[in-house]
Amino acid sequence: MKIWKEPFGTTKKGEAVERWWLENKNGTKAAVLTYGATLQSLIFADTDIALGFDTMEGYEAQDAYVGAVIGRFANRIGAGRFTLNGKTYDLYINNGPNHLHGGKEGFDKKIWRAEEQEDGLHLFYISPDGEENYPGTLEVEVCYYLDEEDALHISYLAKADQDTVVNLTNHAYFNLSGHGAGNLDDQKVCIYADRFTENDENCLPTGKILSVVGTPMDFREMQPVTARITEDDVQLVRGNGYDHNWIINGDGMRKCAEAVSETTGIYMETWTDQPGMQFYTANYLTPEKKGKDGADYHPRGAFCFETQGFPNATGFEHFPTPVLHVNEVYERKTIFRFRII
């Protein structure tokens, strides 16, 4: 794998942003920004399959978290409130009545320090105690590594100096027919999950776990993404499409999802050690914000496989705990593998 960097512009605050390129011997390339540790491009078989923007102005004008690493807590926390060790913390409310994706200025908007190491590109961010009102200083390290078999590995490490809550993910938007293809009608998805977490009308898990059987959430076998998306199903109506946390079968590092484009033949396999995955069909993308090469990004014009701990896990004992204790290490990994079929 070759790694090099170039300047990518400056933020409104005047911070310099770098773009780092990773390339393997097949010519597969990934571009990662120090702004948000963002995956800005993913070029496989001469096709850029990850949505992104050409400039920092583009990134700062959008609110869809395109390609970014999300933290300190990915997805929603009900009413932005949680209690840890007897103390209640109130977080920023930025999504209806709830807290979403780390708050007003989450990890997606921070400048990360990048360093090339033997096993890939490492990005570092130190989230101070009390940032966005979360307890404890959290040291975070994300590593991107592109192997010679066209798999992109994203590893997450974090540790805190006090007990805190953590949920990290990557918010890449994929369109396997090309980032500007505009819809998902030629794409199929499979998710290795028998169950998902029910959402309320604000897309917040209610705590109830539902079976996918007999519902439009059943992706246990490859299904066309959009075949059932407009059905009058209460969960789809609440999500304005797919925007739910699937409970991935099994545990440890395992295959959690697959996707394929019938147009390009690009097939993607996703592996993770996380318990859940938010399958989100970009229901709120807005075309007025031009993407790379002037592309129009439409609602349902891409999908995200956000491997994660369960959203709203701070509220439920029966969800996997999001608590990271002092002196523990948070360690998670996701792999996106590509091939042509």
Sign of CA dihedral 82, 85, 88, 94: negative
Nearer to ligand BGC, 40 or 278 (CB): 278
Rounded Cα–Cα distance for residues 93 and 72 (Å): 14
Q: Which stretch binds ligand BGC (CB under 6 A): 176-184, 186-194, 278-286, 295-303?
A: 278-286
| Total Cβ atoms within 10 A of residue 230 | 12
With CB under 6 A as the contact rule, the residue among 130, 284, 287, 293 that binds ligand BGC is 284
Nearer to ligand BGC, 268 or 302 (CB): 302
Q: Which of 274, 99, 258, 263 is nearest to 184 (CA)?
A: 263
Does 64 interact with ligand BGC (rule: CB under 6 A)?
Answer: yes
Q: What are the catalytic residues?
A: 171, 306
Rounded Cα–Cα distance for residues 271 and 20 (Å): 24
With CB under 6 A as the contact rule, the residue among 306, 309, 315, 335 that binds ligand BGC is 306
Q: Which stretch binds ligand BGC (CB under 6 A): 127-135, 266-274, 276-284, 288-296?
A: 276-284
DSSP readout, 280-292?
E--TT--TTS--G
With CB under 6 A as the contact rule, the residue among 203, 217, 229, 324 that binds ligand BGC is 203
Least separation in angstroms between CB 84 and ligand BGC: 23
With CB under 6 A as the contact rule, the residue among 278, 307, 314, 334 that binds ligand BGC is 278
Does 39 interact with ligand BGC (rule: CB under 6 A)?
Answer: no
Does 261 interact with ligand BGC (rule: CB under 6 A)?
Answer: no
Q: Are the C-beta atoms of residues 299 and 137 closer than 8 Å to each other?
A: no
With CB under 6 A as the contact rule, the residue among 34, 41, 62, 75 that binds ligand BGC is 75
Least separation in angstroms between CB 100 and ligand BGC: 6
Q: Which of 280, 268, 251, 283 is nearest to 70 (CA)?
A: 280
With CB under 6 A as the contact rule, the residue among 155, 243, 279, 334 that binds ligand BGC is 243
Rounded Cα–Cα distance for residues 221 and 190 (Å): 5
| Total Cβ atoms within 10 A of residue 276 | 29
Task: Compute φ and ψ for 147, nearest 5 degrees.
Answer: -90, 175
Applying CB under 6 A, the residues found at the interface with ligand BGC are 64-65, 75, 203, 243, 278, 280, 284, 306
